[in-house]
Chains A and B, each alone.
Chain A
Amino acid sequence: MILRGKVWVLGDHINTDVIIPAKYKFRTGDFKELAKHVFEDLDPTLASKISKGDIVVAGRNFGMGSSREHAPRVIKEAGISAIVACSFARIFFRNAINVGLPVIEVKDVNKHFKEGDIAVIDLEKGIVKNETTGVELKFSPYPEFIMNIMRAGGLAVYRKRVQQIS
C-alpha cells in the first residue's frame, strides 16, 4: 500500500480537543459537518485548506486526551490519508487503526518535513520518503493482521469480509 500526499506539519501533543472540540460532537453525528471543524482550535483556516490525500506529519504524543473515536474519523473524513508522528497516544493509535487511518511512528520525523513537501509512504516496506528533499526514513511495518485492516479501510469492512469467507 503506497500513499502519496502533500504534508501539513503539526506540533507535539496535538490533543483530541483541538482535533475536534467536544461541543461539536454533541450537536451532530454527521462526519461531513464535523470535518469542517477539524483542528479548529489550532488553526481555524486549516480545515478549508486540506485536500484529499494530504498527509499530516507531527511531533510527539499525537492524539492525546479523550477516547473519542470522532478524532481519527474526522481527520479521515477531512481527506487526510495518513499521519506520521514521532509518537502517538495509545487510544488514538488504536482507534485510528480500527477506522482505517494509517498512523505511523517514525522517530524525529518532524525534523525532516516542512509544510507543502510531498511525502510518499510505503506501508509494506516501512519507508517514508520526502520526495521534495529526497530524505528516506524507515519504520517497522505493521503486523499482517493490522495490514489487512488497513487494506480493507478499517476493522468494520475487514470483519465483514472475514465473516463472509468463514
Chain B
Amino acid sequence: MGETIIQKLFRNRLGRPVKPGEIVVVDIDLAYAHDGTGPLAIDAFNELGSSKVYDPSRIRFVIDHASPSPNEGASNLQLKLRKFAKENNIKVYEVGEGICHQVIPENENLKPGMMIVGADSHTVTLGAFSLFATGIGSTDFAEVMTSGKLWFKVPEAMKVSLTGKLKPGVMSKDLILRIIGDVGADGATYMSVEFQGDGVKTLSMASRMTVCNMVVEMGAKNGIFPLDEITLKHVDASGLKDKSIFKPDENADYAVSLNYKLDELEPVVAAPHNVDNVKPVKELEGLEVNQVFIGSCTNGREEDFEIAARILSKKGVKKGVRCIAIPASRKVFLNLLRNGIIDKLVSAGCTVTHSTCGPCLGVHFGILGSGEVAVSTSNRNFKGRMGNPESSIYLASPATAAASATEGVITDPRKFVEGW
C-alpha cells in the first residue's frame, strides 16, 4: 500500500515508514500560543514542574485575541504572558501586529515539511504552506515548552481533488464551506485533509489559507496543500531534499476521497448555529442583516478586502448596517493603505480597525444585540460566538459579505461582478 502525504511527512521526519493509528513522538519546529491560551499554558508549565523552556527560539506568543485589552482581567493575563516571555527569552508579537495564523507565516521562516503546533485550533491554516500544522491545548503546549517534543497519532487521510477554476464572485471560502456542508462537522475527525488536482494551482496562497483554516470545522487534525510554484514564493525550500513527499502515492490508502469542480461552485453561507449548515446564498437572499464583519484569520487578507472594496465602492454600505473591516495583520493593513483599498472601504462606510481577532469570538469590537443578524467572513457561527447567544451568524465569503453590506440583506455577490 502506498503512502498519503501525512505518512510521508512523518516518515521524512522519523526516517522510517508509519501507518495510520500509530503513535509517534516528533520534534516540534515551531510552537505558538496567544493571549487566550498562553496564560493557561504557563500555569500548565508550572504544574508540570518544569523550570526551563527547552528551546525558546522555537516558541512564539502573539497578543491578538483581546487586543488591545478590553478589561483589567485580560490585561493581567497579558502581563503574565509578557513576564514569562521576558524571563524565558520568548519572542512576543504585540498588540496590533496581527492574528497569530497570519503573523507567523508573514514573519517566520517557514519550510515545507515542518511540524508546527499552536495553542489554537486554527493553527491548521499553516498547512497551506505544505507543512504539518495542528492545534493543541495548553498542557500539550506546556509539554512542548518543556521537552520540544509531542506525541501524535498518525492520522488517516481524506483526499480532496480539485479541477477547474472558480468563477468571478465565488471564492475559496465557498469551496471549503461546501466541503464542510457535504461531509458534516465531524466528517473528517482525526484526519489529514490533503488537497490535490489541477484546480489547486488556480488558488492563491491567501485562498489556500482560507481553505486550510476551516478544515478543523469538519474535525480534521490538519489540512495540507501540495508544494508548487505558488508555495515556493512563500517558503524557504532551500534545505528540502525530497520534493516527492508532497505528492501521495497512486495507491495510497485514503479513508475518504472527494472531487470538486471549482467552476461549478456557487456562493454559499453557513446558517446558524453550525458550520455544516451550508446553503446556497440564493436560498437566503433577502434576509435582513444588521452587521457585517470582514476579517479574521479566515478571510482578512489583501484579496479579501480588494474584492470587498470593489463591490462596496459602487453604492457603499447600506444605511443602518454596520460593516466592520479588520485586516488580519499590520502588514496586510499597510498594503491595503498603500494600494488605496482602505480609502475605498472607509469611504464606503466601513468601520476599519487595527488588526485583532475582535468580533470573531465575541470579546470586543462588534458584539451583537439580541435578535440581530450578522454576516461574518470568520469560521464559526456557534450560538453565542459573537458574544450574544440570542443573535444569529451567517458565515460567508468576503464577496457575499460585501454584497450583503451594500444591500442590507443577504445577497449573491455575482450580480456585482459582471464583466470582471
**Do the two shown chains form a genuine complex with each other?**
yes
A interface list, Cβ under 8 A from B: 13, 15, 17-18, 21-23, 25-29, 41, 60-61, 64-70, 73, 87, 89-91, 94-95, 98-99, 154-156, 159-160, 163
A160 to B146, CA, bound (A): 13
B302 within 8 A of A: no
Contact B189 A89, beta carbon cutoff 8 Å: yes
B384 / chain A contacts, CB cutoff of 8 Å: 17-18, 21, 41
Given contacts A65-B382, A69-B40, contact A98 B139 (CB under 8 A): yes
Given contacts A18-B383, A22-B362, contact A61 B48 (CB under 8 A): no
A29 to B47, CA, bound (A): 15
Which residue of B37, B73, B186 contacts A13 across the interface (Cβ within 8 Å)? B186
Contact A155 B143, beta carbon cutoff 8 Å: yes
A66 to B357, CA, bound (A): 14
Contact A156 B48, beta carbon cutoff 8 Å: yes
A17 / chain B contacts, CB cutoff of 8 Å: 380, 382-385
Which residue of B40, B140, B361 contacts A29 across the interface (Cβ within 8 Å)? B40
Given contacts A26-B73, A27-B71, A163-B49, contact A69 B382 (CB under 8 A): no
B interface list, Cβ under 8 A from A: 35-37, 39-40, 43-44, 47-49, 65-66, 70-71, 73-74, 77, 118-121, 123, 135-140, 143, 185-186, 189-190, 219, 221, 274, 361-363, 380, 382-385, 387, 389
A61 to B39, CA, bound (A): 27
A26 / chain B contacts, CB cutoff of 8 Å: 35-36, 65-66, 70-71, 73-74, 77, 363
A67 to B149, CA, bound (A): 18
CB distance from B196 to the nearest CB of A (A): 23
Task: Find the A residue at minimum CB distance from B361.
Answer: A22
Task: Find the B residue at minimum CB distance from A155.
Answer: B139
Contact A156 B36, beta carbon cutoff 8 Å: no
16 contacting pairs across A/B (C-beta < 8 A) = A17-B380, A17-B384, A21-B387, A26-B36, A28-B73, A29-B39, A29-B73, A60-B186, A61-B185, A73-B40, A94-B140, A95-B138, A95-B140, A98-B139, A155-B48, A155-B139
A13 / chain B contacts, CB cutoff of 8 Å: 185-186, 274
CB distance from A35 to the nearest CB of B (A): 14
Which residue of A64, A99, A155, A163 contacts B219 across the interface (Cβ within 8 Å)? A64
CB distance from A89 to the nearest CB of B (A): 6
Contact B186 A67, beta carbon cutoff 8 Å: no
A156 to B137, CA, bound (A): 13
CB distance from A144 to the nearest CB of B (A): 12
